[in-house]
Amino acid sequence: MKTTLLKEGRSYEKTKPLVKMKKLLDIMFHHGVTFKKNDDEKLVYSPDNRSCLGDLDEDTLDVFLVRNYFKELEYDKVVECWWLVPGRSLEVGLRTLTSDDELREICCHAKRNEE
């Protein structure tokens, strides 16, 4: 938005700062049946079905929203929900998602991933 101002006989335009849009997060869910070793002896999720829960505001994101997303994926009962620390393998990087503290850590990793 521009505003024309007069000062000392001269006019100039003053622009108001733009409101910075909040960045929203996407969480990619890898879901299926079980973990197993592949031919290279690496731990993998099988089958590796993927679904994205997108446009999430980190200020309103909570564990209940994430766990309820499994219902949308047609899972009746969620035994455990895990997340993978970026850059780590499944063998050493899996963490259980049980609290909003873990979600905040996921958000921190997502911000670093954008840089």
Q: What is the pTM of this model?
A: 0.70
pLDDT < 50: residue spans in the chain: none
Angle between helices 63-72 and 100-114 (to 10 degrees): 80
- Whether 70 is in a domain gets the answer yes
Residues present in the chain in total: 115
Q: State the pLDDT at residue 76.
A: 86
Q: State the pLDDT at residue 80.
A: 86
Q: Note down the domain range covering 47.
A: 20-114
- Whether 105 is in a domain gets the answer yes
- Whether 1 is in a domain gets the answer no
- Whether 28 is in a domain gets the answer yes
- Whether 5 is in a domain gets the answer no
Q: State the pLDDT at residue 19.
A: 63
- Whether 75 is in a domain gets the answer yes
Question: How many domains is the chain built from?
Answer: 1
Q: How far apart are CA 30 and CA 11, in angstroms?
A: 59
- Whether 12 is in a domain gets the answer no
- Whether 69 is in a domain gets the answer yes
Q: State the pLDDT at residue 75.
A: 87
